[in-house]
A and B are shown apart, each in its own frame.
Chain A
Amino acid sequence: MATVIEETTPSRVEAKSAARRRMTFAAVLIAIAVALPLIPPFNGQDYQRLLVTGALMAAYAVAFDFTAGYIDIVNFGFAAFVGIGAYTSGLLAVDLGISPWIGMVCGALVSGFVGLLTGMLTLRLRGIYAAVMAWFVGLALMGVVRNLPDITRGSLGLSVPLLLNTSDNLPYYYLVLGILLLTLVVLMAVIRSRIGLAFRAIGQNLAAAKASGINPTRFLVINFTLSCAFAGLLGGFYAHYYGILTPDLLATSHTVEVLAVAYIGGRGTLWGPAVIAFPLMVVTGLLQAQLASLPGLELVLYGLLLILVMVFRPTGFAGLVTSAANRIWRPRTDAAETAAPTA
């Protein structure tokens, strides 16, 4: 269930203090994220690269959770939208010499536009059909990218100019951290607006949402388009950070990785996926580096975590944090209050 964990607040005072606690929590996390690459051992290039992948994955997972967690559409073609953004920006830079900075924005626009079209076609369908449809659209896009070597250079890979005139990872890290925060702030603002209210209404009970005068398809398409646009923006960053693009970027296996992070983090929270992505990527990256003789181990762990979350802890990491927080800050709750049905 895409239940959004809302704290039931008995009084205004407590609501205010809860909000303040959340702000403090966020500020601490951001401070850690900013300071981390300066503190040993994280100040080395290898660790900083891992932190870049962590922040990038965090942003992917946030954009993914924006659809999966709120309107209950699992975009199995997510990686393809990242890929569209990446190739758009990359090709603009390679063929027309356009600055990667402008290219990233163009990538976001093109991805958003393709997302809009896909959304208009797909979102009449629900549940598994919508997921499978998005999956197939992603497969088709990957096939097209792979089979047009004259334009994309296909499997040989497209070399793309870098975003910054340096191979130092630190500036890239602060840049992608900025993009992550931008993504989070924008998407959270949307969620808290009236549009977000409609999203949640649709995600939780489509029939009731319709009955109260919401045009679901419009909101579904808005949501899907926005998520795809951010995917495209991130794709642009990917292109000009790594400097090489192959059609594999669009593969479903990448979508599944993002999906795993989003669900392990806790669906329908945005912050859960954002936070969990860092430790996940750093740990799996280290495993990959240390245990080169054991290929695939990190992905096995991913898969197992996803399975565990799906079967036993549907609220994921965010759910654990929320319940721990509730236990710490509300120990005085009466028995009567606990017994009240706050499902």
Chain B
Amino acid sequence: MTTTPAAAPTNLRRVPLAKRFLTFTWLTVGLAIAILVFYTFVQPSIVVDTLVTGGMWALLAAGLALVFGVMNIPNFAHGEFFMIGSLTAFFVFSPLQDAMFNDPAGTGLLKIVAPFPGMIAALIVGFAVGAVLEVILFRPLRKRSRDQWVMNTFLLTAGVSVVLINGDRLIFGNDFRGATRYWDVRPISILGTSVSVDRIAVFVIAMVTILLFSAFLLRTRTGRAMRAVAQDEAGAQMAGISLNRIFVLTMGLSCALAALAGASLLWLYPSYPDVGLQPLYLAWYVVILAGLGNVQGAIVGAFIVSLIQTLTVTYVGLDWIDVVPTLFIILILLFKPSGLFGSEVKGVWEQ
């Protein structure tokens, strides 16, 4: 342990600016930004697509990263909360949609607010299911043994995923439950591309949620406690923070975010039992790219993954939308397993 008081405070400002930004991380982020700027002039639809889907992946990935960062749980069932969200939104939205269909004249306000109750319901249901899982599964496991916790919880969530997918199938069958659109309004033209109001709404919802979520983590007492638990569990307990309470909140919040993503995308991904598969892969790509457990990194990483997807669709073909990002993430795992923004997880390379 080096304790020379003079040497220890590393002064970041001393490092030359060029050197700080010539790292792999910043080169990647810079390249992504450069590509976006380039396409703003050449083919703006790519930029619009990237931002719109990126916002949603950010919601998903932020929750996944949060649960890993705070509770060390790599959640294999994260996509199922997307499914739960879209299912909830469907059941709340369809009666409202029917009401509008039956009475097209007198429902001006309803037309605007109709999608929101479903989203709010999805948040609540997602939170509740997540919190219940923490209490009935993760807490007993934590009590029994914390040996190989990360791997065991990964397998445990694999079981949860199977139960949720097939539970949905059992109760609601294999039907697709969706909505053709949330807002029946003419598309708006942005940068020369016409963008549906639904897509814009999704982007705005994602951005607002992420802002609120960041503010919660950075500025509130509970958010700070969450970060404290992520950084040092024992230290947090010494400060009087109840781990159980934080774990319930964290799991609930993470699942609520995924459910909100599912609800907002109901018109694009109709709800069916394994609708959560693709969102699960993508959220995982993002957290691996960003560094496991790094919430802020995940938000940036979501847009990079979204950009890769959009470029894949444009230049390789729609069929390859998942394959190309997968190959890219495999490369990341090979050469930089701690991710672009560094992971707070130890034991990436077993010593």
Contact = CB atoms under 8 A, between A and B. Distances in A.
Asked whether the complex places CB atoms of A and B closer than 8 A, the reply is yes
Interface of A: 1, 72, 74, 121, 124-129, 131-133, 136-137, 139-140, 143-144, 146-147, 206-207, 253, 256-257, 259-260, 263, 294-297, 299-300, 302-304, 306-307, 310-312, 314
B156 interface: yes
A146 B140 CA distance: 41
A126 B347 contact: yes
Interface of B: 74, 137, 140-141, 144-145, 147-148, 150-152, 154-156, 158-163, 165-170, 173-174, 273-274, 281, 284, 288, 292, 317, 319-320, 322-323, 326-327, 329-330, 333-334, 337, 347-351
B154 A296 contact: no
A303 B161 contact: yes
B351 A129 contact: no
Q: Which of B140, B163, B322 has the most CB of A within 10 A?
A: B163
A92 to B, nearest CB: 24
Contacts of B337: 125, 129
B288 A132 contact: yes
Given A146-B319, A260-B159, A294 B170 contact: yes
Given A143-B322, A147-B323, 12 more contacts: A72-B148, A72-B151, A125-B348, A126-B347, A127-B151, A129-B337, A139-B323, A256-B161, A259-B155, A294-B170, A299-B162, A312-B144
Contacts of A121: 330, 334
A112 B195 CA distance: 48
A121 B331 CA distance: 10
A300 B162 contact: yes
B281 to A, nearest CB: 6
- In order of increasing CB-CB distance, the 4 nearest A-B pairs are A303-B162, A143-B323, A296-B166, A296-B169
Contacts of A260: 158-159, 162
Q: How would you classify the secondary structure of chain A's contact residues: helix, strand, loop or mixed?
A: helix
Contact of A297 (B165, B166, B330): B166
Contacts, number: 137
Contacts of A295: 166, 169-170, 173-174
Nearest to B150: A128
Q: How would you classify the secondary structure of chain B's contact residues: helix, strand, loop or mixed?
A: helix
Contacts of A263: 155
B162 A310 contact: no
Nearest to B158: A256
Contacts of A124: 349
Given A126-B347, A132-B333, A304 B163 contact: yes
Contacts of B158: 256, 259-260, 306
Nearest to B76: A256
14 contacts: A125-B348, A127-B150, A129-B333, A129-B337, A131-B151, A139-B323, A139-B326, A143-B322, A256-B161, A257-B162, A260-B158, A260-B159, A307-B163, A310-B141
A294 B330 CA distance: 38
Nearest to B280: A252
A299 B74 contact: no
B155 A74 contact: yes
A314 B141 CA distance: 10
